[in-house]
Amino acid sequence: MVNKMKQITKENHVEEAEATIACHECDLLISLPELEFGQTASCPRCNHLLTRRFLGAHNRILALSISAFIFLLFALPFPFISFTSQGKEFVISFADSIVNMALMDFFSIAILILFTTLLIPGACLLALIYVLISLQRKRLMPYTHQLLQIVFILVDWNMAEIFLVAILVSFIKVSSLASVFLGLSFWSYVFFIICLIASLSLLDRYQIWQKVKQHD
């Protein structure tokens, strides 16, 4: 469907069933009709994007989230990065990078990396998958509301892509000193981030909460 832009204004929101939404930028309360697929709604005062509705968004988010979680699991057991220097080969797994950080007395940073690059995105994906499977059923499964709230809290703490950028910077630095090879886990982690970003870019807070309310 063509991505038709629609600015929701105070004049055109009276015909259909409406819901009230507060603008995150200026706190303006806006009555919003149900959008058609491909439409977006912006705040009439500050033009902040309020919500957008894509055709089949929740099915696509579910597929991408499951893929992202599988790629995240594959990023754990295999070599993440390996390099040879002076005839010796060093192989580092994802877990090694965190454990080595802790062994070098950067314990708090190791914990931060563990949570923001592995546990938080993993928990966020599992919660999102649960919510979306729940929405596909006729009745919501238990704790759907709570898990959706947790998803939106955890999303802000995900820093997986920042971790990857840091790895790439290190890769460039080390590659001038040694022969560096990117392992299967590294590529799994790259695909995990691609799927995660694609999934979260389709996730619309207002639309998914509306869907949850429909199933209540």
Q: By the criterion CB under 5 A, which residues form the site for Zn ion?
A: 23, 25-26, 28, 43, 45-46, 48
Closer of 42 and 207 to Zn ion (Cβ) = 42
Measured N-to-C along each axis, helices 57-74 and 184-202 cross at an angle, to the nearest 10 degrees, of: 160
Distance, CA of 175 to CA of 107 (rounded, Å): 26
Closer of 45 and 137 to Zn ion (Cβ) = 45
Say how many C-beta atoms besides its own lie within 10 A of residue 187's C-beta.
Answer: 15
| Contact partners, residue 38, CB within 8 Å, separation at least 6 | 1, 2, 3, 4, 53, 54, 55
The CB-of-112 to Zn ion minimum distance in angstroms stands at 34
The CB-of-10 to Zn ion minimum distance in angstroms stands at 13
The CB-of-210 to Zn ion minimum distance in angstroms stands at 19
Q: Which of 31, 9, 13 is nearest to 22 (CA)?
A: 31
Closer of 7 and 108 to Zn ion (Cβ) = 7
Distance, CA of 37 to CA of 26 (rounded, Å): 26
Closer of 26 and 165 to Zn ion (Cβ) = 26
Closer of 28 and 174 to Zn ion (Cβ) = 28
The CB-of-36 to Zn ion minimum distance in angstroms stands at 22
Contact 53, 16 (CB under 8 A): no
The CB-of-183 to Zn ion minimum distance in angstroms stands at 46
What are φ and ψ of residue 137, in 5° steps? -90, 165
AA letter at 172: I
Length of the chain: 216
The CB-of-25 to Zn ion minimum distance in angstroms stands at 4
Closer of 7 and 175 to Zn ion (Cβ) = 7
| Contact partners, residue 26, CB within 8 Å, separation at least 6 | 43, 45, 46, 48
